[in-house]
Structure 1
Amino acid sequence: MHQIENKFQKKVYEMLFVSKLLSLLFCGIIIFIQYNVHFLKNLHKYMSFSMITAMLGIGMLTLIYKIWIFSYKNNKITSKVSATDIIEIILFIGIFSILIIFSGVHTSHYKFIFLFIIIPTTMQFGINYGIGVSSICSILVLLIDYMALPRNTINIFFETDLILTGVFLLTAWSLGYYVNIEKEYRKEISQLANMDELTGVYNHRFFQEALSEKIEVSKNKKTSVALLFIDIDYFKYYNDLYGHQAGDKVLEKIGDILKNLIRKEDIVARYGGEEFAIILPNTKEEQALNIAEKIRSTIEKIEFEGEENLPNKKLTVSVGVSDFPNKAKSKEELIKASDDALYRAKFFNKNRVETYHSVLEELKKDIQQEHIDLISSVKTLISVINAKDRYTYGHTERVVIYCKMLADRLGLREEDKKILRYGAYLHDIGKIEIGKDILNKKMPLTDEEWKLLKKHPENGAEIIRAVDSLKDVIPLIFYHHERYDGNGYPKGLKGEEIPYLARILTVADSFDAMTSNRPYQSRKSFEDAIEELRRCSKSQFDPKIVDVFIEIIEKNIDKFDRMR
């Protein structure tokens, strides 16, 4: 919509430019005609006052023309009146007045030239300024008539000039009225094009344009832009339970709540489905978190019809928060970061606010400077994997949580905890080499496809091998699919031969795989997954690690179950 508006403004500017050029042309004609008259009458006086006046007039008009050309090339036009605009209007009124006096005072035939300042002023600034300028021009015309002749002399031009001033005022009023109608119409069309009809907030297209604009402003002014992504918890469940009409009422109500909670400068939009986005200009992450929490807690306290039948007995929202340029360096990164934060909030209990956090950002502090760019490349690869297989992101985040709790319970050294956390985050990076059709296939994999999938630990280790600072993480990536009985891959290691941290990662990774929905299998309950761990203890998993992990899960089963 901004592009259409800019195109329209450019066309208006072209009209104004032509109008002003015509005024210069008429000024030049008047000067030329009057100079010729004076020149022929005073042929012997080449440096007469008239000649000097003509030269000055043409020089001034040339200067104005150059200024306009520069302004036009830079496309600087607004509907707001600046000091430069006022000076330009006064200058033109002055020039036109001088030309009328120069061409015969009250007998001049060129008084209509004031229309060339009345029309563009009205077109650009509206009816009020148009009426104001036309009134000044009318007063000047009548004042010239009044001052030109003695009081007792009848001025035969006065009646004609009264009609002319009426034309000035009528032109300004009618054109200004049309401009106002056109502006209102464009505003309504813009609202229809930019607003989401159901919720009354801005739509996805406007959100994208506004975010680009706010980020540009942020870059220029060295400020921050925060972004909130808001998703209604269990909304699909609510829709299935009560129907889409009831769901639409919820969306409409939440749209109203968000509009009432945001600040004047903030922008709330419906991002899609049950998801909303709020742009917070000149806002850092800490402020954004406070705003997000206020939104979450307000919605939690409001009663919605039928919410008592939802899994958590309340209709709530989850919120993801990130900011530019602290957590993201571009619009795309900001959207991705906020979306990832929202995903964390949805998986970790729902009805919560989460800020964006990347293990890779933490990792940058621990690696050599020359490898920073490689880590950024790894981050990009993980984003590509997530785009291929959305399951991978949630899986990775949960495995990181499981590994962290296991590491604390097992009393690992801080350095080993860090290696385990990085390994949990990067263990599936080798899936970048596997096609989306295989990752999301609902039917059983063929032997060839399974052989390709089993290559991802080796692929991942090869990717990370270039980063010397991550050499201790490579065994976790390479061996996380080995089995305690030696029947795993890629090397078929057995028991204590498998690195200890890799054995921890295997338990956490397998448990989450069992309790997650995949294209080819439905998720197991936590109780069933625990029984599967017990059954496969000593065969697939290290029994000591399994015992500790089951103890952790059983103590936190309600919390972990809400992560789904």
Structure 2
Amino acid sequence: MHKFKKSREERICKIISSVKLISLFFYAIIIFSRCNFLYTKNSKIYIQYNIITAFISITLLILIYEGWILFLKNNQICIKTLRIIDIIEILIFIAIVSILIFISGGYLSNYKFLFLFIIITSTIQFGMKCGTYVSAIGSIFILGVDILSMLLNTVNKYFETDLILSGVFVLTSWLLGYYVKVENEYREQLADLVNKDELTGVYNHRFFQDSLTRGIAQCKKENSTIALLFIDIDHFKYYNDLYGHQKGDYVLREIGCILKNNIRDKDIVARYGGEEFAVILPRTSEGEAFLVGERIRSKIEEYEFEGEEHLPNGKLTVSIGVSYFPEKSKNKEELINSADDALYRAKFFNKNRVEIYYSILEELKGDIEDKHIDLISSIKTLISVINAKDRYTYGHTERVVIYCDLLADKLGLSEEEKKILRYGAYLHDIGKIHIPQELLNKKMPLTNDEWNILKKHSENGVEIIKTVDSLKNVIPLILHHHEKYDGTGYPNGLKGDKIPYLTRILTVADSFDAMTSNRPYKSRKSYNEAIEELKKYSSIQFDSAIVDAFIEVININKHVFEKVR
């Protein structure tokens, strides 16, 4: 739609320029006819010289104007400045026509109609109001010249004709202006049909994509920022199932209105899909975007939706993810993915909250060699792909990082060990990028062949990061996090203390979260059931000392972790 609009504006600009060029041609004819360039009694050569001079002068006049148009087109002048230039141009044309009418006979001039060219171009450019002003100026001028001639006791037989011509000026500006107005309104209605979501009244997904593309291009040009909010309605499926789709549509419409009423004029709110909305915030910092998101979240929480008391939290709320360009992303795809990741973090951790995008990989960039920065960006992209294939992996990774952080404090690890453990917790499932999506989400128990494919993910993960020297200490955590304390694990069947200490910590946190998470093929265990499972397999699958420490951490923070679910 944006391309169509731009193409249309270019074509209209060409039409206006053509009309102005025609009027310039008339101006040149008047000038040379009044100067008597074509008249001489003695020399045919002189006549030919003046004809050539006239032709060259007209050509130069046209070329100068074309050069002016080309200059405006190639120099990215802001719209406000361009509008001022256009108005000045109109005034210059009015002045030129007025002077030409004077030099071509004043009230006797046959060129009063030239005001029509200015009326037509100004009305097409700026609408009925501007066209009416120009027609009024032209009418006042030619009638003023007529009245002046009559005050000088000159018989003016053209006055009635000029009155009619003035009427033609006004009628032309009104009719053409009305047509332009109707055409613009019709075009806006068509744009709304194309760009707006019919249910919610906000912009649709296609308009969002186009706007974000243009916004990022503008940021690169201006060296500015653009923020993005992703908004998802909490427990919307539950609400839909409980009350039906009509009530669900009512919620979507109301939230659309709340969003439109709580953003700035320059911001763009769109329905991204289903119960998910997006807000584009041009020239906005991360902190400002967070405040906008928090304002939206609180307004929706305060709004009283019918039947919300039966939802899990007793209120209909939203979760919001925030990211921005260029600090947290390098292109449109990264911006969308990072905002989406922040949203899912908000969904996994408590809901009804605003989360700013954060990646451990951003922290990791400060610890690795410059030559491997691109690889870290690639790893970031791979993790986004894994998240899209298997949402369990995303929430699982985030929770395992939190468990590992708490357990590291309990066990008194050094800062360097904490950092290695955190990186390992974040990257331990990166090898799943090579696992087919249908296998990751299979609802039936895996076959032996499928299980063997899945077990390869630890070795695949090592292959991805092994070239990064700064991550060498993380390799054992990725490779061995499925080893068992009794030596029956994979891929190398390591036993007891042969399994690296940090890896044994990760294994406990990883297994606990797997037990307390819903998977396609099994239901989650309660925290108490999972704790009993850890005790049962202590010294068999897990290091007993680490299990004891972990159970203490869980019991202390159980009320917090339960809210995460």
Same fold (TM over 0.5): yes
> CA RMSD of the aligned region, Å?
2.9
Deviation digits for residues 275-321 of structure 1 (CA, Å, limit 9, x no counterpart):
22222232222222233223323333333222222222222222212
Q: Name the structure 2 match of 1:410.
A: 411
Secondary structure, in 3 states, of the residue corresponding to 1:40? coil
Change (3 A) 1:478 1:38: closer
Amino acid at match of 2:496: G
8 Å CA contact retained: 2:485, 2:542? yes
Amino acid at match of 2:7: K
Q: Name the structure 1 match of 2:471.
A: 470
Amino acid at match of 1:490: P
Q: Name the structure 1 match of 2:352.
A: 351
1:326 Cα deviation after fit = 2.1
| CA distance in 2 between partners of 1:86 and 1:353 (Å) | 47
1:423 Cα deviation after fit = 0.2
1:126 paired to 2:127 = yes
8 Å CA contact retained: 1:17, 1:72? no
Q: Name the structure 2 match of 1:92.
A: 93
8 Å CA contact retained: 2:487, 2:496? yes
1:380 Cα deviation after fit = 2.0
Q: Name the structure 2 match of 1:549.
A: 550
Deviation digits for residues 401-451 of structure 1 (CA, Å, limit 9, x no counterpart):
111111112221221111110000011111222222322333333333322
Change (3 A) 1:549 1:77: closer
Within-5 A mapping of 1:207-356: 207-356=208-357
| CA distance in 2 between partners of 1:146 and 1:359 (Å) | 82
| CA distance in 2 between partners of 1:264 and 1:90 (Å) | 32
Q: Name the structure 1 match of 2:163.
A: 162
TM-score, structure 2 length as denominator?
0.91
Amino acid at match of 2:344: Y
Secondary structure, in 3 states, of the residue corresponding to 2:476? helix
Amino acid at match of 2:169: F
Q: Name the structure 2 match of 1:5.
A: 5
TM-score, structure 1 length as denominator?
0.91
Within-5 A mapping of 1:459-538: 459-538=460-539
Q: Name the structure 1 match of 2:540.
A: 539
8 Å CA contact retained: 1:349, 1:559? no
Q: Name the structure 2 match of 1:176.
A: 177
| CA distance in 2 between partners of 1:234 and 1:558 (Å) | 21
| CA distance in 2 between partners of 1:40 and 1:284 (Å) | 71
| CA distance in 1 between partners of 2:371 and 2:194 (Å) | 48
1:344 Cα deviation after fit = 0.8
1:114 Cα deviation after fit = 2.1
Structure 1: which 5+ residue stretches go unaligned? none
Amino acid at match of 2:238: Y
1:6 Cα deviation after fit = 1.4
1:363 paired to 2:371 = no
Deviation digits for residues 65-123 of structure 1 (CA, Å, limit 9, x no counterpart):
33234445679896987332233223322333344445454444333222111111110
Q: Name the structure 2 match of 1:40.
A: 39
Count of residues in correspondence between the two structures: 563
Change (3 A) 1:76 1:468: closer
Q: Name the structure 1 match of 2:191.
A: 190
8 Å CA contact retained: 1:227, 1:280? yes
| CA distance in 2 between partners of 1:452 and 1:476 (Å) | 19
Change (3 A) 1:362 1:31: same
Report the more deviating stretch, 305-314 or 342-351.
Answer: 305-314
| CA distance in 2 between partners of 1:276 and 1:43 (Å) | 83
Secondary structure, in 3 states, of the residue corresponding to 1:350? coil
Deviation digits for residues 223-258 of structure 1 (CA, Å, limit 9, x no counterpart):
332222222211111111121222222222222222
Report the more deviating stretch, 237-246 or 251-260.
Answer: 251-260
Q: Name the structure 1 match of 2:434.
A: 433
8 Å CA contact retained: 1:79, 1:125? no
Change (3 A) 1:38 1:463: closer
| CA distance in 1 between partners of 2:349 and 2:187 (Å) | 45
8 Å CA contact retained: 2:309, 2:315? yes
| CA distance in 1 between partners of 2:76 and 2:15 (Å) | 13
| CA distance in 1 between partners of 2:59 and 2:354 (Å) | 68
1:61 Cα deviation after fit = 4.4
Structure 2: which 5+ residue stretches go unaligned? none
Report the identity percentage: 61
Report the more deviating stretch, 208-217 or 422-431.
Answer: 208-217
Amino acid at match of 1:17: S
8 Å CA contact retained: 1:347, 1:562? no
| CA distance in 2 between partners of 1:468 and 1:103 (Å) | 86
1:469 Cα deviation after fit = 0.9
Amino acid at match of 2:168: V
| CA distance in 2 between partners of 1:79 and 1:22 (Å) | 27
8 Å CA contact retained: 1:31, 1:54? no
Change (3 A) 1:177 1:79: farther
Change (3 A) 1:324 1:75: closer
Secondary structure, in 3 states, of the residue corresponding to 2:322? strand
